[in-house]
Structure 1
Amino acid sequence: MEAEGWPLTTHFVALGVGLAVVNGCVPAPPGFVGRPVTDLPAVTYHLVHQPAAGSDARVASLLDRIRR
């Protein structure tokens, strides 16, 4: 089954429809257990921001932490 959105995906798991592969930040439904999947390829993320935002100390700090 294909579902859009983590809440719907985990809801189907809770209903017993099957299992789901989700991001590590998605909590397992109550009474279920999440297991890491180590054999999947790495995911590339992109940070998008306005060029002028780099002069904001908060944004600059976040960019620095992400780039490390």
Structure 2
Amino acid sequence: MTKKDFTQVAFDVVQQATGEKPKPVTTPRQENSRKGGLKGGAKRMAELSEEERSELAKKAAQARWQK
């Protein structure tokens, strides 16, 4: 897949806004997977203690800064 330049992206946006180009279709299975993933993360965080959440946040920040 090649990277689109600014004019190609703008053209796609105009086509979608005018209804000339259909939006990408996701399957019901993909939609359900996303919903489950979003719920699972929130539930996991709710079950962790404040110290455990803090440790996870520190670990995530460390991983971001190492890139």
* TM-score normalised according to structure 2 size: 0.24
* TM-score normalised according to structure 1 size: 0.24
Larger Rg: 2
Higher helix share: 2
Could you say which structure has the greater relative contact order, defined with CA pairs below 8 angstroms and 6 or more residues apart? 1
